[in-house]
Amino acid sequence: MSADLNGAAPDRELRIVIIGRSIRSDWRNPRALTHRALVRALIDRGHDVVFLEERRNDAVIGQMKAEGSAAVFAFDESHPDIRYRSYDPPPPRELGVWLGLEASTADLMILLLDAPAALPDLYARLQAPHVVRLHEIDGEDGSRLVDTTTGAVVTQYHPSPGDGASSVAGVIESAWRAAGIRM
């Protein structure tokens, strides 16, 4: 496992859950390229990362209509190291339970800016003291990752695939370590 920006790697693999629009399809979804780079940087640092995307999301459906199903299925061949899971959105009254179940196995969760609209409010209220929760928000100078518990800006970056994903991964590790959570 490689070191972060401060030179120290976490003492163990982190289980990281990222929730966003789609990592499989970049059709009218340029953030998918950035998210792939970030996920790959976290994997390269030795972490267990899974990206959750809503089943039948508009990026995947649009790409399948425009290019056929082969384009979406090609993702698995070209990105075998990136794990994702498609989920059926639970009914509104069960959404909090679903989010809590996802948090129960995570050390760190990241809710991306393009995640389904019903999630940010629930995510902010999630009671999971063993999980560091980061929320991506838009800022004037790019995107920011904010610690949901403290409200502190963890890092700011410009969403592009080549824009320091490894550095952002190091900052994410540092946020987990700074929270002092140990299992």
Higher per-residue pLDDT: 53 or 181: 53
Over the chain, what is the mean pLDDT?
A: 87
The predicted pLDDT at position 130 comes to 87
- pTM of the model as a whole: 0.88
The predicted pLDDT at position 50 comes to 97
Residue 98's pLDDT band, with cuts at 50, 70 and 90, is: very high
In this model, does residue 3 exceed pLDDT 50?
A: no
The predicted pLDDT at position 25 comes to 94
In this model, does residue 8 exceed pLDDT 70?
A: no
Among 75, 10, 85, residue whose Cα is nearest residue 49: 85
- At 110, list the tokens: 């990241």
Q: What is the 3-state secondary structure (H, E, C) of 3-61?
A: CCCCCCCCCCCCEEEEEECCCCCCCCCCHHHHHHHHHHHHHHCCCEEEEEEECCCHHHH
User: Cβ distance 86 to 55 under 8 Å?
Assistant: yes
Q: What's the rounded mean pLDDT across residues 124-133?
A: 90
In this model, does residue 62 exceed pLDDT 60?
A: yes
**pLDDT tens, residue by residue, 136-159:** 998 777 888 999 988 888 888 776
Residue-range domains of the chain with CATH = 15-179 (3.40.50)
User: Cβ distance 22 to 152 under 8 Å?
Assistant: no
The predicted pLDDT at position 163 comes to 55
The predicted pLDDT at position 70 comes to 92
Higher per-residue pLDDT: 8 or 54: 54
